[in-house]
Structure 1
Amino acid sequence: MDASPDKLNLYLSHRSALVDYAAPIVGCRSRAEDVVQEAWLRFNGRDQPNLSINNPVGYLYRIVRNLALDLTRSMATEKRQPDSDAVLAELPSGAASPEQETASCDELQQVMEALTQLPERTRIAFEMHRLGGYTLQQVATAMGISLGLTHQLVHQALSYCAARLERDHD
C-alpha cells in the first residue's frame, strides 16, 4: 500500500511531536516510537474515499493516544509480582460496589462525550496536557500557539467537562 505524498508529508512534519506526545503515556521514548509507527500504518492504511477526515492532524493524534493507552493497559496487566496472589489475599478489598462502578463509568462516558463536543484545538490541548502529561509550554510549542492561549484552552476544556458533569448530576 503506497503512501500518498500529502499523508506522508503530514506524518513526517508531525512525527517528532507525536513521539513527544506518546512518550509520557507509555513511559519510554522507544515504545513511543513504536506507537507512532503503528499509528502511521493505521493512518496510511485508511483508504476509504467515502469517509473524509476534517482534521487529519487531530485524527493522527487520536490514533497515537488510543494506541499509547492500549499499550499502557496491556503493559500494566503483564506486570506481575511473583508473590502477588499472597499480597492481594492479605489486603482488604477496596473494590467499588456495583453502584459506584456504574456511576464512575457513567461519569467517564459523560466526560468523553463532552470532549468530543469541544473544538478540535481545545480538545487536543486538553488531552496533551491532562492525559498526555505534557507541560503547558510543551503543548504550546507542539501546537504552535502561545502559552497563554494554551492555558486558556485547557481551562476551557476542564470547565466545560466539569459543568457537563454537574449539569448531568442535577
Structure 2
Amino acid sequence: MTEPVSTSRCDSPLLQAFIENRLALVKIAARITGCRSRAEDVVQDAFFRLQSAPNITSSFKAQLSYLFQIVRNLAIDHYRKQVLEQKYSGTEEEGLNVVINGASPETSHINFSTLEHIADALTELPSRTRYAFEMYRLHDVQQKDIAKELGVSPTLVNFMIRDALVHCHKVSGSSPEACVRR
C-alpha cells in the first residue's frame, strides 16, 4: 500500500510547483486530449513520474517548463493511444455482425491448398534465396543480419526476398502488391 501524499507541504520544490500549478497542467492536457477526465489521468501519471524523478535544482521557471513539457508529452502519448484504440475498436453490435472468413470447409481447403503450393514453390528456389525469404518473412530477421550470415550485401538479400515473393505469387496466382509487407 502506498503512502498518502500531503498536499500542504512537499519536500521537493518540483512537486510543490506541480501541486501549485495543477489546474493549469490539467488545462494543457485537456486541450490535447479533448477530455478533462482524460487530462486528469495524464496529470496523475505525470505526478507519479515526478515522485520518482531526481531533485532538480534549477530556477522556478525551468521547473515549470519541465512540468509542462512532461504533461504535454504524456498528453500527446495518451491522445495517440486513444486514436489508435478508436481506429481498431467498434461497437458491440458491429462485433456481433462480423462474418468469420474461412469458416466454411471449402475456404479452409482452398487456403490449405494454396499454402501447399507456396511450400512447393519455395522448394523450387535456390537454397540461399529460400533461406533469406524464410528468415525474413517467417522469422522476422532483419535483412542486414541475413546478409552478414550469408556473406552477401543487404541489397542482394533484398533482391532474393523479392524474387522469392514474385515466384510465390506466380504459383498462387495472386498479385505481388497484395502481400507487400507494411
What TM-score do the two structures reach when normalised by structure 1? 0.43
Q: Which structure's residues are more often helix, by fraction?
A: 1
Structure possessing the higher relative contact order (Cα contacts under 8 Å, 6 or more residues apart): 1
